[in-house]
Structure 1
Amino acid sequence: MNTLTYLQGYPESLLAQVTTLIEQNRLGEVLQKRYPLSHDITTDKALYQYTQEMKNQYLRNAAPVNKVMYDSKIHVLNNALGLHTAVSRVQGGKLKAKAEIRVATVFREAPEAFLRMIVVHELAHLKEKDHNKAFYQLCCHMEPQYHQLEFDTRLWLTHLALKWKR
Structure 2
Amino acid sequence: MTPLIYLQGYPEHLLAQVRTLIEEQRLGEVLAQRYPAAHEVTSDKALYVYTLDLKNHYLRNAAPVNKVAWDSKIHVLKNALGLHTAVSRVQGGRLKAKAEIRIATVFKTAPADFLRMIVVHELAHLKEKEHDKAFYQLCCHMEPRYHQLEFDTRLWLTQLSLQGRPD
TM-score range, shorter-chain basis? over 0.9
Partner of 1:11: 11
Partner of 1:153: 153
Partner of 2:44: 44
RMSD (Å), alpha carbons: 1.3
Partner of 1:66: 66
Q: Deviations over 1:51-108 (max 9, x none)?
A: 0000000000000000000001111695211000000011111111100000000110
CA contact (8 A) 1:51 1:119 kept: yes
CA distance in 2, matches of 1:94, 1:10: 45
**Identical columns (%):** 78
In 2 relative to 1, CA 78–22 (structure 1 residues): closer, same or farther, beyond 3 Å? closer
Aligned length: 165
CA contact (8 A) 2:6 2:77 kept: no
Structure 2 unpaired stretches of 5+: none
CA distance in 2, matches of 1:12, 1:78: 23
Return structure 1 stretches of 4+ with deviation > 6 angstroms.
none
Q: 1:100 and 2:96 equivalent?
A: no
CA distance in 2, matches of 1:88, 1:107: 27
Partner of 2:22: 22
Q: Give the aligned residue type for 1:129.
A: K
Q: Deviations over 1:90-138 (max 9, x none)?
A: 1111111100000000110000000000000000000000000000000
CA contact (8 A) 1:3 1:162 kept: no
CA apart distance, 1:3: 3.0
